[in-house]
Structure 1
Amino acid sequence: MPELPEVETVKRTLNVLVAGKTIKEVEVLLPRIIQKPSDIRMFEFLLQGQTIQTIERRGKFLRFVLSDYVLVSHLRMEGRYGLYPSEEALELHTHVLFHFTDGTDLRYKDVRQFGTMHLFPKGEELVQPPLHKLGLEPLDDEFTLEAFRQQIAKRTTKIKPLLLNQAYIVGIGNIYVDESLFLAGIHPEREASSLTSKELQVLYEAIIQTLRDSVEVGGSSVKSYVNGQGEIGMFQHQLRIYGRKAEACYACGSEIQKTVVGGRGTHICLTCQPLKRTRKKNQ
């Protein structure tokens, strides 16, 4: 599933490709992609004549800000957008077409068919599902060390599933949690409440560094991800621990282990990330 860096990259490429274009008509070929409104014909009708002002991101969701509405799109496992000439033949697994007045189409393709779209009047999208309960944005100015401490410090949950919980911090999926915890030297099974003040600061900085480094190179194409221009990301070539089971740790040479934490496959270097079960002292 695309995580924050990948969705951020798609957002940026789509702004280059389609911002300012006006929708002539919409075709929905797979109705279950559209979650709101329930009437597919109404979805198509409301988008006619709408101009895409900008594309923004909230967590792993794209927000197409239109003249009067906001389209909230989640790519899920395999969803992707691309710009095509309107006369070009449809590729397999194309489910939604936005026909523009300039003779081009924005096409949504999804092999797994898990993606979703919600259409809201402007302003309503942030107070209704699926965006209404999302947590802190780790690349925003509001993501301060103190805000991070307040979300994390007193929780007795294991740190990895806590970081994956989008109600606390958004956009950090399995790849980037493993990478951030390794960079911070923290075992993924540590209780969040056991982390010292220094460890929280190091983890906070590791999350920001990892996400920024990935955004800079277009995200990770570990499976099938491409951006809106059909280009793969390059961060998979910089992964320190994720996907490297049984390989030597770059930092210490120990063999990287793979286990399951919180139901997710997890990569650990037990030398660099020792499991400390003692709770933190007041600091």
Structure 2
Amino acid sequence: MIDTLGATLRHNLEARNGMLVPGAANALAARVIEDLGFDAVYISGAGVANTYLGVPDIGLVGLAEMVQHTQVIRDACDLPLIVDADTGYGNALNVRHAVRSLERAGANAIQLEDQVMPKKCGHFAGKAVVETAEMLGKIKAAVDARHSRDFLIIARTDARAIHGLDAALERAAAFAAAGADLTFVEAPESPDELARIARELQCPQVANMVIGGRTPALPAKELGELGFGMVLYANAALQAALQGMIQALSVLRNEGILSESSHLIASFQERQRIVRKDEFDAMEDRYATGSPPA
């Protein structure tokens, strides 16, 4: 199944129609994304940092945490999984280990970036990038390490904020020549810059729509018309959930009661539907009676 999902993901991204990909920080969010009919899930390193550790996206999440999250999300979700692997957690040999570990865990693609460790969110100040040659070595290691040809390598550059767009485009082109399947110029600052990225780079591109970040938000349809393969909303679900928690718990604090009629929370029935309780009830019944498998 993993190879089939990877091939499907490759096909969708190479169509360059602006495929919308929301991010998930846990299995529940991935279930919602699948339930709503999206075509892929992005496992966000920033989201894992925020929800699992309660810290900002400053390079504190390691490979072990991302492997664990990938495993549980793969078990809960049948969509292609794109995993944020930050800088690869070290040098080219660390990247090789990360690729092999995440592919075994159920990922269909990983994203690698060219920041200096410890990395920061691409829309934070104070970033630095490694030399191009170092990143090319990491990309080559990733390509060599993957088992399936349809395990995609997405190479991100954060050079726009440090050296300007021309330098970022030059890096992205070199990343593609080294074997990256997609490239990702982080944090462009205008619609014209987005258009240049899609026009001047030959392989499929990622447009990262960070709500409140440096890049202007454009509709996925418009980004698809420009030629982007993926339109990423890595933490839209997380930001929506955070706002929902704040609103609902503020009512609980102030009024001392919270009910479904407030329209601030999902119903008990909807919660059980998303986690597929009916499937577990059916299995429990089957195993309790000793009935043969269906």
- TM-score of the superposition, structure 1-length normalised? 0.29
- TM-score of the superposition, structure 2-length normalised? 0.28
* Structure with the largest fraction of strand: 1
